[in-house]
Amino acid sequence: MKTQVAIVGAGPSGLILGQLLARAGIDAVILEAQTPEYVLGRIRAGVLEQVAVDLLDEAGVGARMHAEGLPHAGFELLIEGRRHRIDLAGLTGGKRVIVYGQTELTKDLMQARAAAGLKTVYEAKEVSIHDFDGTRPRVRYVKDGQGHEMACDFIAGCDGFHGVCRASVPKHAITHYEKIYPFGWLGLLADTPPVSEELIYAKTARGFSLCSMRSHTRSRYYVQVPLTEKVEDWSDDRFWEELRRRLDPQANARLVTGPSLEKSIAPLRSFVAEPMRFGRLFLAGDAAHIVPPTGAKGLNLAATDVRTLARGLIEHYRGSDAGIDHYSDLCLRRIWKAERFSWWMTQLLHTFPDTNPFEQKALDAELDYVVHSLAGRTTMAENYVGLPFED
């Protein structure tokens, strides 16, 4: 078997890349370890920056996102019981974000791939990558108990944080930067109308909470919990009770509770691997970096990585390697800005068990400064909607 680009992983990174390459006439096969149902069952975030929206249009999968996604022109910060609106559109010359669940986006991408007859091997087991430091890389995998080998020009490692691609790079060739936070987010999805039209990010003495949504009838809520918490110990009632304690009377008056469709705890992590290219292997999305969800950047970074990668590969097949040669540097500049923003938002809004009292006072003062200063709010808004893309 042979293809031009072997893509490992059918999450948003792999699927968007596959779509962009197909539209440019480049042949790609996606190898995914899980079943399509499993991939769709993972509940992830869903705030899209304009750059990501434009890219999905370019990939030909934007129709349902425009029809069903919810444009948001601002969000609220609820700090110790007081609300402060971050007017995204007003502070950034009219920019907005679209709230559209990653699950729905993944569904759209899978359908487009199937409709175009493009090849995805689901339940590809024991995927291993070989010879990416030479000119003839190969990918091996097992499907239905049978071994296969695929020759390719390039390998795109879109296989997430626990994937095989980053792990296959020799240790001396890669540097990891990491910060693990001493808490996680307990999330609950419910078919209840959202508590507010806009997202509410709340900082309270009991910890952070977030009111988000998937549609006008489906809400997504989170509360910060210690890493020692187990999801089994959180009944729906206990979750709603804790959320209530972290909201203001205005929100509590509108909060509609109901049975959970999904409930899970996600640890928070900041992580970057450098570089993102190793000969003919490119890492993209969560395979190369992780952000805590506070800044809503994970999916957007995945989209901008594969935008850059697709352009580089298309250029390569037209005769120039400039794009792929700059892939890593170009991506990392954007990634570090989003890493900084996500880390900063996380620091400002969460309760850290071990912060020294001076630092806590300084952080409280910083948040007070940010919400009361036009410059401060503008900084928050322009990072949230996404920084301009550098080509």
Q: List interacting residues with ligand PHB (CB under 6 A).
A: 45-47, 199, 212, 220, 293-294, 296
Q: Which pair of tokens denotes residue 60?
A: 């030909």
Place of tokens 């239905």: 144
Residue 386 binds which of ligand APR, ligand PHB, none (CB < 5-8 A, kind-dependent): none
Closest CB to ligand PHB among 160 and 295? 295
Among 13, 224, 257, 383, the residue binding ligand APR under the rule CB under 6 A is: 13
Among 78, 86, 190, 302, the residue binding ligand APR under the rule CB under 6 A is: 302
Closest CB to ligand PHB among 45 and 61? 45
Q: Does 286 bind ligand APR (CB under 6 A)?
A: yes
Give me the least distance between CB of 288 and ligand APR, in Å please. Answer: 8
Residue 294 binds which of ligand APR, ligand PHB, none (CB < 5-8 A, kind-dependent): ligand PHB
Q: Are 167 and 18 in contact (CB under 8 A)?
A: no
Q: Does 10 bind ligand APR (CB under 6 A)?
A: yes
Q: Are 270 and 179 in contact (CB under 8 A)?
A: yes
Choose, from 100, 141, 181, 201, the residue flagged as catalytic.
Answer: 201
Q: Which pair of tokens denotes residue 264?
A: 């899970």
User: Is 289 annotated as catalytic?
Assistant: no
Q: Are 223 and 208 in contact (CB under 8 A)?
A: yes
3-state DSSP assignment of residue 307: helix
Q: Does 295 bind ligand APR (CB under 6 A)?
A: no
Q: β-strands 219-226, 207-213: how paired?
A: antiparallel
Q: Does 127 bind ligand APR (CB under 6 A)?
A: yes
Q: How far apart are CA 157 and CA 236, in angstroms?
A: 38
x/- contact string, 154-193, with ligand APR (CB under 6 A)?
----xxx-xxx-----------------------------
Q: How far apart are CA 348 and CA 351, in angstroms?
A: 8
User: Is 84 annotated as catalytic?
Assistant: no
Choose, from 181, 293, 327, 350, the residue flagged as catalytic.
Answer: 293
CA nearest neighbour of 385 among 140, 50, 146: 50
Q: How far apart are CA 314 and CA 309, in angstroms?
A: 9
Q: How far apart are CA 367 and CA 376, in angstroms?
A: 9
Planar angle of CA 225, 230, 233, nearest 5 degrees:
100
Q: Quick one: angle between helices 12-23 and 298-317, nearest 10?
A: 30
Give me the least distance between CB of 39 and ligand APR, in Å please. Answer: 5
Choose, from 72, 95, 263, 289, the residue flagged as catalytic.
Answer: 72
Closest CB to ligand APR among 185 and 234? 185
**Contact residues for ligand APR (CB under 6 A)?**
8-14, 31-34, 39, 44-45, 102, 124, 127, 158-160, 162-164, 285-287, 298-299, 302
Active-site annotation, residues = 72, 201, 293, 297, 384
